[in-house]
Structure 1
Amino acid sequence: MRDDDTITEADLNAYVDGQLTPERRAAVEAHLADDPGDRERVAAWQAQTATLQALYGHVADERPPARLAPWRIVADRRRRLSRVAMSMAAALALVVLGAGGGWVGRGLIMPAASEMTLVSEAEAAHTLYAPEVLHPVEVSGEEGAHLTKWLSKRLDRSLIIPDLTSEGFSLVGGRLLPAAQSAAALLMYENGEGARVTLYVVPQAGGETAMRFTTKGDLTAVSWQAETLGCVLVGNLPRDTLMKLAKTSYGSLDAGSNI
């Protein structure tokens, strides 16, 4: 049970999906008894779920071959195209090299546009939710099992939520957000002094990247890509502290993405 009795849309969705604890389910049912509007919404969602189950339930029970996993298909395609892409990049580098070494150096340290979009989304989410006092997250860290199952389902990835207690940070909780190409998970952590960091995670396919620092105002972001996840850790903390948190997070998330 949470500290407050506020019933959110996330609670209603989890109720329909059968993912609430017995205590939270009882709280939602009590709320529905007094709220005709939400009761009607939930009934409509349940009817829709029942219809979809009747029409396509047998398909959901069929396990597709591992080779047909969307992220694996994209990764295989990228590998097939990598030789051509590398040849073109090498040729372009030679042309640009003749135009001036300084400009080439600038290009080599500039992150890709897709990575900058990911970092910008993560910074915006941190700026919006980290200062929040009453509702910084949708699901609290005390409901870790539900949070893991919910976010894994919505991101279509097997997530292992990082445990950062060894670095002095406890899990506040998480929420689901829209991203440029998919859904995104935002996990929030806090230390004993009240400093907060957020970990922004989106599903991505193929490749591994080194950790990269980006600074914007007082915020510093550490971004990287694991095999199936794009990740950005954001906070107003020293770089060495953020790097330790990022490395710990990487170990957990990378293990989960390969399950």
Structure 2
Amino acid sequence: MITSEQAAQLFAPTGVLRASINLGNPVLARRDSPEAPPYGVSIDMARALAERLGVGIEFVVFDSASQSVDAVANDQADIGFFAIDSKRGESIAFTSSYLHIEGCYLVPEASPIRDNGDVDRAGIRVAVGRGSAYDLFLSRELKSAEIVRASNPQAVLPLFLDQRLEVAAGVRQQLQADMARHPGLRLLPERFMVIRQAMGLARRRGDAAHAYLGAFVEELKASGFVAQALERHGIQGASVAPAG
């Protein structure tokens, strides 16, 4: 295993670690206004890595996962926080997961759709955030339903309501927040996927950097850091992933 000093040269040769932050998943990061700094579990983890490396920290903030992935893949950021997916894995080297989050379906209260098995049928339109983990997953899994893509996860509910779509897909916590603001909606009882959140970096950074980041994530899980971050930010419904 390389030292933290050697890792600093691989991750942040300018002395500043650039962390790609996705605001499209409120479990990971949020901010209270466009001018306010982001906060959340991924922010805490990025700060901890920068401290470990002995470098400064810069947050490169995006509204969607696809933008966040592109930033790391295209060297606009050094590390990021992503749902593990085989398509993204073509350019991103993932650690083992540090959080497990549920992907769920939202429907109108009066909808005849009662469980996940009712979704994949002809004539059913499913709103998703473009390039999100659940977009990638459902694009592979749904055979009969039509996927309708919003520009980012925050735009899913407006699209769902404006076009009177049958289903909205997303992270459970985001959909629950949407329900609180818009009465007359309900979640289907079971998740359709488990979203495995990991840290990642561009594959071209090399095996040594990947191994260092993986060991760092395992340490944060084992020490209780991730669990404490969830509690500190009041995150419900996400669980710390088991040891990788």
Higher helix share: 1
**Structure 1 length as normaliser, TM-score?**
0.25
Higher relative contact order (CA 8 A, sep 6+): 2
**Structure 2 length as normaliser, TM-score?**
0.27
Higher strand share: 2
